[in-house]
Amino acid sequence: MHTQVIVLNGGSSSGKSRIARSLQAVLPDAWLSLSVDTLVDAMPARLTTGGDGIGFAEDGGVDVGQEFMTLQDAWIAGLVAMARAGAHLVVDDVFLGGAASQRRWLDALGDVPTLWVGVHCDAAVAEDREAARGDRVSGMAAKQADVVHEGVAYDLEVDTTNTESMDCARAIAAHLGYLSERSAVEQTPTRGGRS
C-alpha cells in the first residue's frame, strides 16, 4: 500500500513546515499539509493561556491541560478520518511527550499506511531561526530540540541544520519511491531509521 500519511516530528523552528511545503511540491497527487499549529490557532483564546488548554511559559516551556488533550485527540481522529477517506496528509507535529505522543497517533492511525519522519536541527541553529521569526517564545526551540525525539521510532530522519528543506523533502520522496535516488540530492544528510 502506498503511504497515506507522513508525520513530521521535530521541535519548534526545526524546519518541519518548510519541509511540508516542499513535499507538496515534489510529491505526486495532492497532499494536504496540516500542523499542530492549525489546531492551536483554531482554539478559543481562553485555551491558549494555560490551565486546561495550552500555555507557553516565558522560558519557552509548553504545558498542556486536559481540555487541550481532548481537543487534540479529536483533531487526530479527524485527520485519520480524512486519510481513510482518501486524502494524502503531511502532518507537522511536536511530540512534547516523546514516545507517548507517538503512541496516541499510532493508536488512532491503526492500519493507515504512515511514514514517520524525525526532523532534527541543532538547538543553537533552531534558536537563531526562532529569534529571526519573532513569533515564538524565546527558548522554545532549545527546550524541544531533543525531548520531542525521546523514545520515538522513525522510518527516516533528516537534519535541517545544514540541509535545505527541499533537499530533505526529496530524500523523503526518494524513501517513498516517488523519486529515484539519483533525482534526490545525492548527499542529503539523513539519519538512519527503520525501514
Task: Classify burial at 5, counting beta carbons within 10 Å of its beta carbon; exposed 0-12, middle 13-18, buried 19 or more.
Answer: buried
Annotated catalytic residue 59: no
CA–CA gap between residue 41 and residue 115 (Å, rounded): 25
Distances (CA, A) of 84 to 1, 74, 162: 13, 15, 36
* Residue 28, phi then psi, degrees to nearest 5: -75, 170
DSSP at 48? G
Instruction: Exactly one of 29, 37, 73, 159 is catalytic; name it.
Output: 37
Contact 9, 117 (CB under 8 A): yes
Grid cell in block for residue 141:
526551540
Rg of the Cα atoms in the chain: 16
Active site positions, annotated: 37
